[in-house]
Every structure is written in structure tokens, then in C-alpha cells.
Structure 1
Amino acid sequence: MYYINRNDSVIPHVELIREPLQYPRTVCTNSTCVKYVKTREFDVIDYSTVCHDPYYLRNVKHDTINNPAIQSCEIMTLATKQCRKRKCPWNYHMHISYRTKQEVHYEVIKGQVGVDPGRELVKRMKALREEQETLIKISAVLIQFLKTNSITAFNDPFIDYMNYFVNEERLKHSMGANNQYVLNGLEKLKGLYLQKLQSPMNPSKKDISDLLETLYNLLFNGSSIKDQVNSIKNIQVKEIEKNEKLIYAHQQPEKDIIVTKLNALFSNSRN
């Protein structure tokens, strides 16, 4: 318990909590199949139409719409590739293995003599923007490293992630949300990331390890990133235990080990 004095400032902080599902499921993202939930703190799209639960199709990228692989889901008709439940086209559907809920915490900044709360808030916003830019820069380096070193074809999950949230905000806007500022910010963020990707990069395996540690130690989002990465690792370990057999043929080179780990981190890194 804490006590708030008249000179204290209270700043809301929204945190994403990841809850793994026992089994994957297929949901529909069509505007006719979702609910728009408006709360005091934020607007939320609730993917309330669960079309197939549990979902057993393998090798389908999570949290991505317009993914052709999902046409093989048994909930889709063979002739039209429409969902048997609500007749929506296949490309509105996505595969999820966890649900994400938003929790609001309130940070109390103790008032001090001679300290302007408004100025402190501006400083905090500046620090958050700087952390956001650090996240974008590091993400671009990690993606370039994976593209260069992956044996198989590699699709950029960060762009999929950004497109997912842009589409979600557009959906909210079409349903009455006053979120144009958020939508513009996401579009700007996506543009910044694409710009960073054009910069020449040739990171070493030590650079990658250092960048991951930098992510984990970020002031505002570091612990959350680390928790989500660990959660994804646990999900993938369970999937491997169910679907794959390990064959120990020879020692894997150190660089290949790093590539394998990064591929694992990015393959399901959307929330």
C-alpha cells in the first residue's frame, strides 16, 4: 500500500500479460466476428469468435492473417476456403497459441520541492521515445543477422508484427475508436524500422549477444521482453517435445547455435 500526497504525480503504465493456451486455436479477425471493448484506459479488440479449438495444424505462423497455410485447417470448406462457422474467407483467420491481456498499473512519482510534475512527465516521455528507437535499431540488426545466416527462407516477423497492430488499430478506428494518433504513430514506427533495415550491417555473434542483453536491461520494457521471450521458449520446447525427435550427429557450430536461438525467438514473437 502507498499513500498519495497532493504534490505526487500518478502515471498509468499499461503492461501486456501473456497467458499461454493449453492448445492452439483459430480465431477470426473479420469486423463482424470481433468485439470492440472501450475501457477508461484503452480500447481493445476482443477476438471473441473462436472457429477451431483446439487447433492441430502444424507449421502455421502465429498471429498472422492472410497466411495461405491456414487454408488447410479443417474448419475451412474445400471448395470455397470459407470458414464453416461464420462463412468468413480464410484470409481473415489467424492461429494463436496464447492470449494477451492488458493490465494498468499506476506509478506514483513522489513530489519534491522545486520539482515540476509536468516537466518530469515530459522527461519520462522523452526517455520512452529513446527506448523505442533503441528497440527499433536492435530489431533491425537482429533481423538482418537472421536473413544473412538462416539456412532456410526467412520472412521478417517484425513487419508481420507491425502490420498486425496497424490492422488492429484500423479495425478499432472503423468501429468508432478515437485512435488516429496511435495509428499514425504505428505507421511512423513501421517507416522508421524499414529505414533502419536499409543501413549496412554486419554484426558478429558477440554483437548479437550484447544486443539481446541490452534489450533485457531496458529501463521500461526490459523485464517484460525477457519474460515474453522465456514464455515463447517454453511454448516452443513443448511443441518440439510433441513433434520432433533429436538426432545428435555432430557438434553444432557456435554461430549456428545463435542463429537457431534467434530464429526461435522471432518465429512466434507477436502479441
Structure 2
Amino acid sequence: MVENKIETGEAAEAASPRKKAPRGRRLAIVGIAAVLVAAVGIGFWEWHETPGFCASICHNMDPYLETYLQEEGVAGVDKYGNAVSDTTALLSTRHRETNATGKPEIRCMACHHPVIKQQISEAVQQTTGGYEFPQTEPTLGQLTAWEGTEGTQFCVNSGCHSYLRGSDGLVDRKKLEESTSWMDFNPHAQHHENLKVECGECHKGHRASVMMCTGCHQHEGVSMPSGWVTKAEGDRILADAKANTHAPLS
């Protein structure tokens, strides 16, 4: 009988639940886990804000990162692989390091504001292969559509060309004209009452900027900023890019 009692006692001890760790120890474990999760989250967000993030996740971003990382003021290439005589003509290159602001470097996300819905859409396209390469060239209006803002607000947002912003939050055309009034030929002169050229029609981020004025015969001889191309050359570059656009291989 004694032996049975002993066995019963051992079985009861084996069946009883393990003792819980002291409350202080459990809190310490939870705290350490929370710190690790926060550290990983902060690290990912810091990486997310760097230009390298775009090209590492979406491989079709490589040409865009390459134009961004080029040295300014030298011969280079655009996102389509075309030669550019002066990389200053690419806003992605020129805006990386600039004396116009107090920032030592302007990163991609400063202009291309991350919108969750847009990022989800892009992630789906990347996963399913539902995108074109090279990417089509969006207008400023298309770039800001996810934010629900007007195209010119891409350029005059806080910290950028806000000095050109009017009371309505858009580019003030009079301020724009005055900003280049010192030039022999003022490209921003508002002499066409009904012609509202969008900033992005001339200023290109990842290919040579285009002097749209050369599309009119009276301006064929106008001098252009270094590295810029005429409207005819710009049209040819874009036509060649569209002809070579294809869906990625699956």
C-alpha cells in the first residue's frame, strides 16, 4: 500500500502544471522582445527611406537608382541607357546633392512620397510580373494621383520649390516667370495665354530634360541649358523607349 501511495504521489506531481516564471522575469522577457521588434522595425524603416531600398526590392528600379547616383556635371546615361552629355540635365542627379536646401542629400522619398495604397499596388505588380520594363513615363499628375494632389504640387511641396507656390497651393505662374526673368530668353515667360505647360514636360527626372520651346519654329535657335535636348530629340527618345518596352520575362 505504501508503494502505491508513493507511485500515486509521483504521478500527481508529474501531472501537476509547471511552476510559472516569476512575474518580474516574464516582464523582462516581454520587454526584451518588444525592444527587438522595435529595433527591427526602425531598422527596416531607415532602410526603406534609402534609395537602395527601391532597387533591392524592385529590380526594375535599377536604372533609376543609377541615374540618381551619377556624379553631377559630367557625361552619363539616362534610365533608358541613352548617352547624356551633362548629367545636370537629369533632375534625379542634380537634386541628390544641392545647395538649394539645408539638406545634405535629397532622397527619392522626398519627392516620391510613399502612399500605402500605391506601395501595395506596386508590390502586387512586382510579385505578379504585371509591370513594363522600362517603365512608362508618368506625368506629374499621375505621380501625385495617389496623394490626391495636383501635378504642380509635386514641385512646390514644403522643402522644395515652395517659393513658387501661390495662395492656392499650386505653382504661381507669375512667380515662376519672375524667377528666370534675368535670362536672355525666359523659358517661363507666360506669353501664351492659353498654354499651360506642366513642369514635367520640360524638367525630366531620369532622362535629359527637354526644351519644349524648340517645338515652335521661332525658337529653333534658342540656347539650351547644358545636357538638355530639343523637343524633337525628346520625342525620339521617348518613342524609342516605348518601342522597346516589354513585359518582364516570367
Higher Rg of the two aligned structures: 2
Structure with the largest fraction of strand: 1
RCO comparison, higher one (Cα < 8 Å, 6+): 1
